Amino acid sequence: MPPLPGAERVRSAVRLYRYLLRCCRRLPEGSVRQHYRHAIRQSFKVHADEDDPERIQQIIKRAIEDADWVMNK
């Protein structure tokens, strides 16, 4: 399954957050969806103080790859 539409436009943390929450909508209802929504929120809290643009782009790329993996699982 290809990434959700819009993955190529994710360039900022806010867009990444929205993209990942949209991915969660495609997961089955219940504990699985709640788990990933919670994990997304926690990851954003952990990386909230990141200010290096290169590191932010690495995090965005990895998050999209991880989301694709979860969606294909």
Residue 40: the pLDDT is 93
> pLDDT digit string (tens) for 38-72?
999 999 999 989 999 999 999 999 998 998 888 88
Whether pLDDT at 5 is above 80: no
> pLDDT digit string (tens) for 18-29?
999 988 988 888
Could you tell me if 44 and 17 are in contact, meaning their C-beta atoms sit under 8 angstroms apart?
yes
Q: CA 6, CA 19: separation in Å to the nearest integer? A: 7
pTM summary value: 0.80
Whether pLDDT at 1 is above 50: no
